[in-house]
Amino acid sequence: MVEIIKISLTAFMLSAIIQKDQGLLLWYKNIINKLPWYLCKPLGGCYQCFTGQAMLWYFLLTKPFDLVELGFFISAGILLSMIWHKIYCLLK
């Protein structure tokens, strides 16, 4: 469970930095915005999609494959990223 919290928070914050109009990763944002939407979103254009991709690849590379666990891992990460988003919006 701790892994889910760490990965979802890290992925959300990276996505938030990417989506800023001015910031450290503006050059990356300009590159991915030129891609079709189905590539842009998982590469950082959407915090939920980006978190889902991070969770998917972490699970596939570090855990034994179990479809139910994979679904839970990704869903929990995306749910947490939505919570991080609500907190982030309140702090803005």
Instruction: Quick: pLDDT tens for 53-78.
Output: 999 999 999 999 999 999 999 999 99
- DSSP 3-state helix, strand, coil percentages of the chain (rounded to 5)? 80, 0, 20
The predicted model scores a pTM of 0.90
Looking at the structure of the chain, the number of domains it has is: 1
Domain span at residue 52 reads 2-91
Give the pLDDT score at 22. Answer: 83
pLDDT at 92 over 80: no
Say yes or no to pLDDT of 21 above 90.
Answer: no
